[in-house]
Amino acid sequence: MLSRRQFLVFGAAASAAAFVSHPVEAALHTKVERAVALHNIHTGESLKTTYWANGHYQTGSLRQLNRILRDHYSGDVHSIDPQVIDLLCALQHRLGTKKPFQIISGYRSPQTNAMLAAEGDGVAQHSLHMEGKAIDIRMEGVNVRTLGRAAKSLKSGGVGQYPSSNFVHVDVGHIRYW
């Protein structure tokens, strides 16, 4: 039988272990600041920003990220889930690089998604891109398989590898791979 004190200590230790046992959380756990570098291949815009500091997401940086990750067809800006940005930051950490991610697709409006789905490019009708929970990326000097393996190792959602199109899809939905 555990005493109340032992129970509380055990519970706190188990909670802490669960918190840092997730690969993304573990990669970000000790970071005082979190930064990410992006280059949107369609608009030519680049951004390097510290989006998390002093224990909080930085509102101005999140607005900049929303803008660079906008629907490049319509120009619509949508809130990107900060977990997606955390995933990118952890992925940069896992790869051991500060190179910018090349953005193929961030947010997609429902109209853009429907247009792309109609073209038959393997676009999901209810894509997480429309919720700001997915991003298609590549990185100079890193092949798709290496990038995909690193993303899968983070166990943070969906990872799709598209070697013939030279990009990797990552999202913060259910864990699944294709």
Write out pLDDT tens, residues 135-178: 999 999 999 999 999 999 999 999 999 999 999 999 999 999 99
Closest to 91 measured CA to CA, from 146, 17, 130? 146
Q: What is the pLDDT of residues 18-40, one digit of tens each?
A: 444 565 666 566 568 999 999 99
Instruction: Find tokens 């899809």 and name the residue.
Output: 169
| Contact indicator for 148, 176 with CB cutoff of 8 Å | no
pLDDT tens sequence across 67-103: 999 999 999 999 999 999 999 999 999 999 999 999 9
Q: Output the pTM of the full model.
A: 0.83
Please identify, in words, the CATH class of the domain defined by 23-177: alpha beta
Nearest residue to 91 (alpha-carbon basis) of 139, 59, 140, 160: 139
Find the DSSP H helices in the chain: 4-21, 23-29, 59-68, 82-95, 110-118, 144-153
The C-alpha atoms of residue 17 and residue 178 are separated, in whole angstroms, by 30
């894509």: which residue's tokens?
Answer: 127
In this model, does residue 14 exceed pLDDT 50?
no
The residue extents of the domains of the chain are 23-177
